[in-house]
């Protein structure tokens, strides 16, 4: 991966990196299964002319490119499934809905993963509840960027014929000792997605609205979020029009 950034009076940042992942999946036995995965990011040709704020590297010299040298465990978890219940314990990748609020930030070499427990409940073939309790965020800029936390993620969905309705609540609370100043984020939203056919063409659409509240020290701010788009598929071509407000 090559990335170059020019920003104001700073010297041009350039980074050339090679990212790799190796994983081993444990076969299912009596409801148990698991996965172990390591990731590695290497600098190629010494081209690491960029700032990494979490590590304090090259600040004020180059713009930021958050792809430092990394070698670490990306995922390591045990799954247990029985009937309508599932459990996942350990370091895991979490991608919820369109990843607008919770995702893996996979465009960076060092992927965002989380340490915690997932509890899943699927009472019917069309209903699903996922609850995550997280105590650490392994962020995408090396170990120095990782954050101990007390996060709670709740995602509830129901599928209709050709559509899906999702409601969510995400509480992101870093440890006070690991965040200065402490920033707590509370996000609540609803999303509706679907597909249909119109004049022999496939049409897909999304409607979403959310509210986010930020609490930092003694100050509280709130903001609303809205997104809507519709797309038309014809053969191998897709045309979409959308609106997003943050």
Cβ atoms 114, 138 nearer than 8 A: yes
pLDDT at residue 219 in the model: 84
Which residues lie below 8 Å from residue 235, measured CB to CB, with a gap of 6+? none
* Contact call for residues 213 and 185 (beta carbons, < 8 A): yes
Secondary structure E strands in the chain: 2-5, 13-29, 32-49, 70-82, 85-92, 113-121, 127-138, 147-160, 163-172, 183-198, 201-216, 219-234, 237-245
pLDDT of res. 182: 60
Who's near 37: CB < 8 A, 6+ residues apart? 21, 22, 23, 24, 73, 74, 75, 76
> What pLDDT does residue 53 have?
86
- Distance CA(198)–CA(70), nearest Å, equals 48
Pairing of strands 32-49, 147-160: unpaired
CA 115 to chain centre: 13
pLDDT in tens, the chain (246 residues): 999 999 999 999 999 999 999 999 999 999 999 999 999 999 999 999 999 888 778 888 999 998 899 999 999 999 999 989 999 999 999 999 989 899 998 888 989 999 999 999 999 999 999 999 999 999 888 788 888 999 999 999 999 999 999 999 999 999 866 555 567 999 999 999 999 988 888 999 999 999 999 887 778 889 999 999 999 998 888 999 999 998
Reading the block at residue 110, the tokens are 């060092």
Mark 69-99 as b/e (b = at least 16 C-beta within 10 Å).
Answer: ebeeebbbbebeeeeeebbbbbbbbbebbee
Q: Are 183 and 220 in contact (CB under 8 A)?
A: no
């Amino acid at each position: 991966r090559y990335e170059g950034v020019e920003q104001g009076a700073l010297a041009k940042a350039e980074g050339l990196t090679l990212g790799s992942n190796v994983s081993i999946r444990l076969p299912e036995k009596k409801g148990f299964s698991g996965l172990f995965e390591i990731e590695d990011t290497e600098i190629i040709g010494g081209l690491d002319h960029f700032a990494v704020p979490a590590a304090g590297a090259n600040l004020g010299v180059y713009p930021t490119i958050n792809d430092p040298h990394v070698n670490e465990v990306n995922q390591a978890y045990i799954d247990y499934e029985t009937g309508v219940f599932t459990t996942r314990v350990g370091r895991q990748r979490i991608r919820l809905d369109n990843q607008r609020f919770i995702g893996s930030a996979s465009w960076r070499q060092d992927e965002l993963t989380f340490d915690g427990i997932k509890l899943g409940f699927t009472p019917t073939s069309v209903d699903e509840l996922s609850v995550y309790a997280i105590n650490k965020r392994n962020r995408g800029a090396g170990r120095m960027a990782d954050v101990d936390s007390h996060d709670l993620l709740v995602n509830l969905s129901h599928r209709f014929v050709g559509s899906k309705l999702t409601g969510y609540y995400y509480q992101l609370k870093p440890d006070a000792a690991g965040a200065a100043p402490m920033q707590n984020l509370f996000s609540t939203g609803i999303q509706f997605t679907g597909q249909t056919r119109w004049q022999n063409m496939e049409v897909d659409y999304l409607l979403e609205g959310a509210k986010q509240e930020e609490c930092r020290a003694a100050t509280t701010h709130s903001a609303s979020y809205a997104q809507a788009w519709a797309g038309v598929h014809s053969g191998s071509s897709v045309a979409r029009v959308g609106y997003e407000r943050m």
